[in-house]
Amino acid sequence: MKMNRAGQSTSGDPMTGGSDGGSSGSGPLGVPLSTWALLFFILFLVGILCAIGVNLIANLLHLSTHMLHLQIFFLRKYLRAVIRCLEDSICNVLWAIFIFPAQMFCKCARYVTYPVKEMCVGCWRKLDNYYKPYKITS
């Protein structure tokens, strides 16, 4: 990888550079904001094209009374994929925020509990032997 005078890489890959290569910062789920903007723009265009297509079909077939049902029918196919993607994203975010930290806490507690207990018992025995050195035990 070649470096220019400023110490930044000269390759065309923006991921290998030392600084952000544009005005887009990191957005939700680690995806740049420009990617989210592009995704929502594409979804907006698909929605408009679906509405235009449904209106044309409804006008050609004279289905003005059933136009709402027809629009929902045609949009349902595209919305199902979008809703599935959003559900997966929400589930991943909830897992990353709540479940993963709880799992890590339980693992750490499992590994730390026994040594801490042994340390406390050892300290108690040392203190007890220090203050009561001639204690009779049976």
Per-residue model confidence as pLDDT tens digits over 73-83: 777 777 787 77
Is the pLDDT at 129 greater than 90? The verdict is no
Neighbours of 38 (CB within 10 A): 12
Confidence at residue 8, expressed as pLDDT on a 0 to 100 scale = 54
Domain ranges within the chain, ordered by starting residue: 29-131
Q: Are 9 and 1 in contact (CB under 8 A)?
A: yes
Average pLDDT of the chain to the nearest whole number: 75
pLDDT: which is higher, 63 or 103? 103
Work out whether the CA dihedral 36, 30, 21, 13 comes out positive or negative.
Answer: negative
pLDDT-derived band at 106, boundaries 50, 70, 90: very high
Is the pLDDT at 16 greater than 90? The verdict is no
Q: How far apart are CA 4 and CA 24, in angstroms?
A: 23
Mean pLDDT value of segment 18-27: 54
Is the pLDDT at 20 greater than 60? The verdict is no
Q: How far apart are CA 63 and CA 17, in angstroms?
A: 56
pLDDT: which is higher, 5 or 70? 70
Q: How far is the CA of 129 from the CAs of 22, 41, 46, 121, 138, in angstroms?
A: 68, 75, 79, 12, 15
pLDDT: which is higher, 36 or 100? 100
